[in-house]
Amino acid sequence: MKETVVIKSYHNGITMMLKDDVPFHVILDELALKLSGARNFFGEAKVALSFEGRSLTKEEEIEILDTIHENSDIEIICIVGKDEETDKLYLRAIRQSRKRLIGSSDGQFYKGSLKNREVLETETSIVILGDVYPGCKVISRGNIIVLGGLYGEAYAGATGEEDHTVVALEMEPEKLKIGDFKYKSAARQKKWGMRPKIQPKIAYVKNERIVFDALTKDLFSGFR
């Protein structure tokens, strides 16, 4: 009999192969059993997560994340979609941001999402391992990298320096400021939350205004 859940581990991530012809609660029960039994094996890994074999709703993805949290010490940085080039870029962003900021006085990590109008202020560049929800704000004297969705406000170069950037895997900010230059969304914000496809972007100052570009290898390599 085919297993209901098969977990495959790879560099920087895990893939869950889910059987598509069983009730979803059966998936959750088997996943909880497997994760709790392999808790020491996975340890406190920080990984990207992808799914195969079954289409999931946003609510089902959240239930799986809750099950992972309750039955393991794994920290899921994001759910990866099926766009291979985007996924490679995302994983590269994780690796390079860690190399540049961990153990350095020039930056730090914040683990978790900002919710309920939370405000995060830092004197250094920062990488946020989570989402910035609407109504929340990140203020940094350096650069800001959101390894998740930026749906609230971000202020990079808070001392007035414009040679900083804001990077997010899902870039839909309510407001954004770099140095003394401001951006405010004029369009009604789309429904935020987990998306089936990651669309990383970078915001920076060009010709005295904030512009947004797709996050390419060259742009990210030039990120300071």
Q: Are residues 192 and 159 in the same domain?
A: yes
Q: Are residues 160 and 193 in the same domain?
A: yes
Q: Are residues 119 and 214 in the same domain?
A: yes
Distance CA(173)–CA(186), nearest Å, equals 11
Q: What residues does 210 pair with on adjacent strands?
A: 205
Mean pLDDT for 6-28 is 86
- CATH assignment at residue 130: 2.160.20.70
Band (212; pLDDT cuts 50, 70, 90):
very high
**Which of 79, 113, 129 lies at the terminal end of a domain, its last residue?**
79
| Domain span at 60 | 5-79
- CATH assignment at residue 63: 3.30.750
**Which of 21, 56, 79 lies at the terminal end of a domain, its last residue?**
79
Q: Are residues 123 and 144 in the same domain?
A: yes
* Terminal C-alpha separation, the chain: 52
Q: Is the pTM of this model over 0.85?
A: no
Q: Which helix (H) or strand (E) holds 182?
A: strand 181-184
Is the predicted pLDDT of residue 57 greater than 60, yes or no?
A: yes
Higher pLDDT, 135 or 185: 135
Band (100; pLDDT cuts 50, 70, 90):
very low
**Which of 79, 108, 125 lies at the terminal end of a domain, its last residue?**
79
Q: Are residues 101 and 201 in the same domain?
A: yes
CA 191, 197, 200: angle at the middle one, nearest 5?
A: 90
